[in-house]
Amino acid sequence: MSLKKVHTNNAPAAVGPYSQAMIAGDFVYVSGQLPINPETGKMVTTSIKDQTRQSLENAKAILKEAGTTLENVVKTTVFLQNMGDFGDMNEVYAEFFTDHKPARAAFEVAKLPLGADVEIQMVAYLK
């Protein structure tokens, strides 16, 4: 199986020694996306809804670069700084995943990189 690194300027660069995504076989594995605006390089610090939207837009741009879409996502993982934000996060998440609803896990974590309130990673099928 060959591996291919995925990179787009339409999503923020990795904040560490990792790739935005990797293609392995028929799947693309998108690294956790923070709510960083790729145009400004700055963290969205307004509401959890705005942060969730930015994280999902970042992942969507990476998927596009990889040759797939949100409709082919099979699994997501959502990391929240505060599980009390789950409802607001879920409301925005539902805007991106309407009829198609991938498997998902959501966790409250002690801390996220750069002080973010949400981070979202996903796996999508390429075919």
Per-10-residue mean pLDDT, the chain, length 127: 93 92 97 97 95 98 98 98 98 96 97 96 95
> By the 8 A CB rule, do 21 and 29 touch?
yes
Q: What is the pLDDT of residue 19?
A: 96
Order of strands, sheet of 21-24, starting from the edge strand that comes earlier in the sequence: 3-6, 21-24, 27-33, 118-125, 73-80, 103-108
Instruction: Report domain extents, the chain.
Output: 3-125
Q: What is the pLDDT of residue 2?
A: 84
Amino acid at 23: I
pTM for the full predicted model: 0.96
Q: Which CATH superfamily is domain 3-125 in?
A: RutC-like (3.30.1330.40)
